[in-house]
Structure 1
């Protein structure tokens, strides 16, 4: 029996904006948001010129905005973000494609570098699986660190291969929008780069 797997990047593919910055805005006042962003400009510059890896830059960003936040409080914030803000960021063409694939009984996974905390609450509503970056909590408080690996570039392929038996699929579709998605797109039998813009 023929089975199809669909792999979707999240930020920029399903959404129109980077949700890391959007949830940071959502979590604080406009003034404090820009104060924190300005403090991060040296980090952004060092990432741009390749002095520090993107994963370390992301950890610094997360630490500045969410360090020490209680896990329950953080997850409640993420849930609220999914209810109030995320619907306005979704690309209609992407949602239509997901709906179309679900009608064909396609197995759908979101594979994202963004933390699962603000993807899973939304994805659960649509019965979509999530393979995504995990955050590190110690004594129920966010350490500001990523747990294991940042799910981007080759890490996308690794987490797919660890969690999905690809041999059971006759067709693998992949949808992405950045260089970080290329390894996942190369894994697929049918790849789609920026198809919903």
Structure 2
């Protein structure tokens, strides 16, 4: 954790920024949300359509952002935005207890009580995370999805909110970050630029100690094409939740 001299921090508003998936939650939320919203059968049918892009990603012929764009396009093209919002609200209500890390919730509450400006800053779609931010009582910066005439086009509006784009999005909302005492919480490569910009950088604080640096072993057996695509999407689009390497990318 970086520290700066006390006089430099005196009088500055504290801006507390939390990554969502894997930081405040026990695991990714976007792929499970898609399974919840579309149902297992339709989810598996659409995941099969992503098998080839997933293989191309594993072969390093497709970038992480390109694979995520394929995921969004495959599931959300032409879908009513209000329907997605309703599904997100129900998903939040149903999965809150099993998804959220209690220690993370306590930290968010402590930052609010201390008078900090608190926000989520996530690569997951803001449309999906809005109910979580509202329940937490904090602001939200996330990946924006393009909407035309009330329907999602299947395109990301602007950039995927990860890496340097997290810092750029924060500055677009709050102005120069130098005017704040910035505190940040993250857990993947996609949070490195945000953590580097912070005076107080918190890395995987809410993870159990035994999982902070451990890479989970693969299951045995020959996986199906659907399982390969599903697993690849979980890892590639939504990041290295249990990895111990700094070069893997967050969502």
User: What TM-score comes out, normalization by structure 1 length?
Assistant: 0.92
Structure 1 residue runs of 5 or longer lacking an equivalent are none
Q: Alignment partner for residue 42 of structure 2, among 15, 32, 44? A: 32
Q: Alignment partner for residue 9 of structure 1, among 8, 12, 19? A: 19
Answering whether residue 168 of structure 2 is matched by residue 168 of structure 1, we say no
Structure 1 residues 99 and 178, CA gap change in structure 2 (3 angstroms): same
Matching residue of 2:165: 155
Matching residue of 2:104: 94
CA contact (8 A) 2:30 2:128 kept: no
Answering whether residue 188 of structure 2 is matched by residue 178 of structure 1, we say yes
Matching residue of 2:239: none
CA contact (8 A) 2:120 2:138 kept: yes
Answering whether residue 176 of structure 2 is matched by residue 192 of structure 1, we say no
Q: Alignment partner for residue 145 of structure 2, among 135, 158, 161? A: 135
Mapped partners of 2:30, 2:161: distance in 1: 14
Matching residue of 1:56: 66
Mapped partners of 2:82, 2:191: distance in 1: 31
Mapped partners of 1:5, 1:98: distance in 2: 12
Mapped partners of 2:154, 2:69: distance in 1: 6
Matching residue of 1:103: 113
Q: CA RMSD in A?
A: 1.6
SS in 2 for 1:130: strand
Deviations 1:73-119 (A, max 9, x none): 12111122122224421111110111111111111111111011121
SS in 2 for 1:122: helix
Instruction: Count matched residues.
Output: 196
SS in 2 for 1:108: strand
Q: Alignment partner for residue 76 of structure 2, among 61, 66, 78? A: 66
Q: Which moved more, 1:186-195 or 1:77-86?
A: 77-86
Mapped partners of 1:120, 1:29: distance in 2: 21
Structure 2 residue runs of 5 or longer lacking an equivalent are 1-10, 208-251
